[in-house]
A and B are shown apart, each in its own frame.
Chain A
């Protein structure tokens, strides 16, 4: 299957700072990427859909000014958590859409805000 990478795999930051997470499709071009958040023992929660060259579409309840998404190329999407707070601590996972609408997930980024 296709490979999607994420960087960093884990990050610890202080409350009030911003953190950028990168998601790359390594062996295919992805016009559409997705960002999910998952709290311990809970299901995936879709945060936003990101299309190359256009603004991301955010799910209801997700603050677009807090979670900035940029999809500037067919292989890279970034999620920036601005002014992070402890309640933003979570497992953030990106995925890239494949040719038959399947999604390939990155390995995830574990964010801890202290």
Chain B
């Protein structure tokens, strides 16, 4: 069973702090990793994706990938109340695989 694990939260951070969201995956053959944000009552929206070990930055978001540890994270700098949402980690297995989604981590940014 290929699994993607996330802490369900809620993760609560004060406004302006760094929010750190973590995701682990079971399949070493996983190639691509995606982060989605889902506001309550809405559908998920793609934030960013990462393929290579290391960091990838996009505005206030940084994705970090460590394939040896089978670990991917999303850092949100200068967190805002509007960042309060559920963050979904998704992993692509192999060269033709579908995305496997984690159950999501609920983030709450307190003003």
A residues within 8 Å of B by Cβ? Answer: 1, 34, 43-44, 46, 49, 91, 93, 100-108
Residues of chain A contacted by B88 (CB below 8 angstroms): 44
Contact A102 B46, beta carbon cutoff 8 Å: yes
22 inter-chain pairs at a CB distance below 8 angstroms, sorted by A residue, are A1-B46, A34-B98, A43-B101, A43-B102, A43-B103, A44-B44, A44-B88, A93-B44, A100-B49, A101-B92, A101-B97, A101-B98, A102-B34, A102-B99, A103-B34, A103-B46, A104-B46, A105-B43, A105-B44, A106-B43, A107-B42, A108-B42
A113 to B6, CA, bound (A): 32
In the assembly, what is the distance between CA of A49 and CA of B99, in Å? 11
User: Chain B's interface: helix, strand, loop or mixed, by majority?
Assistant: strand
- Choose one: A44, A100, A105; the contact of B32 (CB below 8 Å): A100
B residues within 8 A CB of A105?
A: 36, 43-46
CA distance A104 to B99 in the complex (A): 12
B58 → A minimal CB distance (Å)? 12
Residues of B near any A CB (own CB < 8 A): 32, 34, 36, 41-46, 49, 88, 90, 92, 97-99, 101-104
Q: How far is the CB of B49 from chain A (nearest CB, A)?
A: 6
Bound-complex Cα distance A47 to B53 (A): 32
- Whether the pair B99, A108 counts as a contact (CB closer than 8 A) is no
Closest-CB distance, A112 to chain B (whole angstroms): 14
Shortest CB-to-CB span from A36 to chain B, Å, is 9
Known: A44-B101, A93-B43. 19 other contacts (CB 8 A): A1-B45, A1-B46, A43-B104, A44-B44, A46-B98, A49-B98, A91-B41, A93-B44, A100-B32, A102-B46, A102-B49, A102-B99, A103-B46, A103-B90, A105-B43, A105-B44, A105-B45, A107-B42, A107-B43
**Chain B: minimal CB distance from A71 (Å):** 15
| Interchain nearest-CB distance for A39 vs B (Å) | 12
C-alpha gap A107/B36 in the complex (Å):
14
